[in-house]
Structure 1
Amino acid sequence: MRKVSVLALSLVLLLSACAPNFQKQNDTVQTEEKTTGKAIIPKYNISNNYYRTILPFEPGEARGLVVNNINTRYDLNEFEMGLMRIAQNSFSTDKYYFQEGQQIKGATIKQWLSRQYTPAQLKANNIKASDNIGLNPVNTSPTGSTPSSPIYLAHVLEHDYLTKDDKGNVSLAGITIGLALNSIYYYKLQTDGDTLEKKLPYAEVEKQGKNMAAEIIKRIRSMKNLGNIPITIALFEQQSKTSVVPGNFTAYATVDEGSSDLNAWKKVDEKYYLFPSTEATNDHRDDTIAFLNFKQDVETYFPNYNGVIGKAFYSGGQLQSLDITIPIQFYGKTEGIGFTQYVTGLVMEHFPKYLSVTVNVTSVDGPESLIVKEANATEPFVHIYQ
């Protein structure tokens, strides 16, 4: 028998990942900051897929830059959450605690994101040679013309991981760095102000990203108290500004404690697809057919409606999760409840047990219902918004 819950959405998000790992109490620990004080480790670990976060929350040094530099909110979410997934290869969620990046100053990251300058450009722009630390290549084209080289690096994201000793002291024990790289370079010509775009070959993007990663590691090693901290650094290819699915991480490398050399790069086999789409049909035909059958049955409820779209996440070539959005107009609450019940049955019928599926039903008035089928669950969780 299917359940209809009126629990708050926040609880849904907490419960939908996987079974919570609840600890008995909050831990109050001593931090090693410039200003001494107490920090709290939350007693609830909602999932082994997430890290417990040191409280009170300390915003990252580069807070705000990521919003300006990442193309879409889809890329923004995946850039942050994907970097956490990669961190778990080096820093386990049961031993390490998460904190937003505190080591690299926001002003420093901003300088890293700029271009390198020629001596003439430094003089013309009144820039000190010591501030010529941009990681993007020099633009040697005349002002107002097409740039001689693209901007490859869009953002640098730092996450810190802490551990607690037997005395309750918490200290930095690991760092992950994400490099957001452009798949499309957008630029303006001063002559007419139009925004132009250039598709960047990924082979060149990856080459530039790996070179930048090596340089960033050297710079981090020269910073105070960071000479011996293990580091993981990863490359993220963001999508275009019009994309409705996020980009993905493509590779990562680790740096051992006390070393400045990157270990061998490892491929990250992850990708998002839009359902339905030609790319999804070409690469994953069977999964696309299952989605189209689901979509067709939804449309039998509303014969003139065809707005069902899905965002599919693949890892290792296998479909891991599917997020479906159904925007539709209802003329009464009971109609929305009936439709949700119908769609819930379709979810259980059309998709395999191993697959995690989320369906958001929305209208012009906002969210109407949420259906969550966790992997291998025998019953879905359904929430009707009041």
Structure 2
Amino acid sequence: MRKLSIVALSLVFLLSACAPNFQKQNEVVQTKEKDKGKAIIPKYNISNKYYRTILPFVPGEARGLVVNNINTRYDLNEFEMGLMRIAQNSFDTEKYYFREGQEIKGKIVRGWLNRQYTDAQLKENKMKQAENIGLNPVNTAASGAEPSSPIYLAHILEHDYLTKDDKGNVTLAGVTIGLALNSIYYYKLAEGGDTFEKKIPFAEMEKEGKKLAEEVVKRTRNIKSLKDVPITIALFEQNSKSAVVPGTFFTYTTVDKGSTNLNDWEKVNEKYYLFPSNDAQEDHRDDSIAFLNFKQDVENYFPNFNGVIGRAYYNGDQLQDLDITIPIQFYGKTEGIGFTQYVTGLVMEHFPKYLSVSVSVTSVDGPEALIVKKADDTEPFVYIYQ
């Protein structure tokens, strides 16, 4: 059986003694921000998949809107992390530093997410023409009737990327903008009434999304701080509210410094699958069979149990990451440890070395164990919650 790491209080003290001295490694730099121009760049980076974040952390201007406008927490996480992956095509993780979007103000984002209004609607809502900046199409349907057009644009997310010069000055060097698009439009005919839904065909969503991207870039160039920085803008397809896997980015483009012209659109070939599912069986049969064999062996440990669920991330046709959840009820801590040992062996047996796999074992009392096998690692990391 593979080595099992049980983290207890003694390990906390050990880690405290061995942990990197972040205070000595951090670097104080100059910025143009209002807080006297002081900021910190951590020199320690946990992975080359991430950017070092400018500190102190300042929330994005559109913070809070994402929770209201994104359908699920799965979409929310993927919208942020997927945009960061796309940024790496334009902004290297070694050279650039990350900051949540500060340039497109929250009030502007709220306005852009609205529908366009007719003159009569403006008057009815006691709004000025200058406030009529919505990017979603006008609804000309009568009150209580199905909307004349769906809302395509659900949310706008900005990420900022900064660079440091030889004098220690940090300046904005580029931005990425994510446009979350509805694949399903949810609406009500009356306040407090039933919720209806309308499927938006992918081709229609893509066409409208690219039109929206052109307009967002034009408006972004009217913001003083964004007049002359390169922009990467990407389109994200939201999943349904009932989905247990996230939607994905499906295309992105870049805009050169000072330009409003979009370069060619690049396809993003990423997708998430639920294991087990018919879609996974049809599109990735071998991976699906490997998971089902793993699931069957887990169920052999508890014959009356069948709750193993996996969420698989594909880049192209290659399975990159597999996150597995096993909710189960134990009657003692030693039983949980024995089960975790067993599952750890199954992970190493059933899944290829190149695949990153994480397994979360939970019960009604909360998390019980975490098993993590990184790609090409010969030994998994196992954490037993105390």
Query: Is 1:320 the equivalent of 2:325?
Result: no
Q: Is the 8 A contact 1:24 1:43 kept in 2?
A: no
Give the drift of 1:23.
Answer: 11
Q: Is the 8 A contact 1:23 1:45 kept in 2?
A: no
Q: Secondary structure at the match of 1:52?
A: coil
Deviations 1:300-334, CA, capped at 9 Å, x for gaps: 00011110000000001110010000000000000
Aligned positions of 1:55-204 closer than 5 A? 55-190=55-190, 193-204=193-204
Q: Is the 8 A contact 1:31 1:37 kept in 2?
A: yes
Q: Secondary structure at the match of 2:296?
A: helix
> Matched residues in 2 for 1:80 and 1:258: separation?
25
1:279 corresponding residue in structure 2: 279
Deviations 1:78-110, CA, capped at 9 Å, x for gaps: 000000000000000000000000000101000
Q: Is the 8 A contact 1:97 1:161 kept in 2?
A: yes
1:209 corresponding residue in structure 2: 209
Q: Secondary structure at the match of 1:3?
A: coil
Give the drift of 1:192.
Answer: 7.3
> Matched residues in 2 for 1:36 and 1:229: separation?
24
1:265 corresponding residue in structure 2: 265
Give the drift of 1:34.
Answer: 3.7
Aligned positions of 1:37-52 closer than 5 A? 37-52=37-52
Aligned positions of 1:231-380 closer than 5 A? 231-380=231-380
Q: Is the 8 A contact 2:374 2:380 kept in 1?
A: yes
> Matched residues in 2 for 1:244 and 1:226: separation?
37
Deviations 1:198-252, CA, capped at 9 Å, x for gaps: 1110110111111001000000101112111000000001111111100100000
> Matched residues in 1 for 2:192 and 2:103: separation?
41
Query: Is 1:222 the equivalent of 2:222?
Result: yes
Q: For the structure 1 residues 265 and 342, does the alpha-carbon distance in structure 2 shift closer, same or farther, using more than 3 Å as the test?
A: same
Q: Is the 8 A contact 2:312 2:319 kept in 1?
A: yes
When structure 1 is superposed on structure 2, of 278-287 and 31-40 the one drifting more is: 31-40
1:17 corresponding residue in structure 2: none
> Matched residues in 1 for 2:251 and 2:23: separation?
34
Q: Which runs of 5+ in 1 are unaligned?
A: 12-19
Q: Secondary structure at the match of 1:67?
A: helix
Letter in 2 for 1:103: E
> Matched residues in 1 for 2:27 and 2:45: separation?
12
TM norm structure 2: 0.95
> Matched residues in 2 for 1:61 and 1:6: separation?
41
Deviations 1:135-185, CA, capped at 9 Å, x for gaps: 111111001111010011100000000000000000100100000111111
Q: Secondary structure at the match of 2:228?
A: coil
Q: Which runs of 5+ in 2 are unaligned?
A: 12-19
Give the drift of 1:25.
Answer: 1.6
Which runs of 4 or more aligned residues in structure 1 lie more than 4 Å from their structure 2 counterparts after TM superposition?
Answer: none
Structure 1 vs Structure 2 CA RMSD: 1.7
Letter in 2 for 1:327: P
Number of residue pairs aligned between Structure 1 and Structure 2: 376
> Matched residues in 2 for 1:207 and 1:7: separation?
51
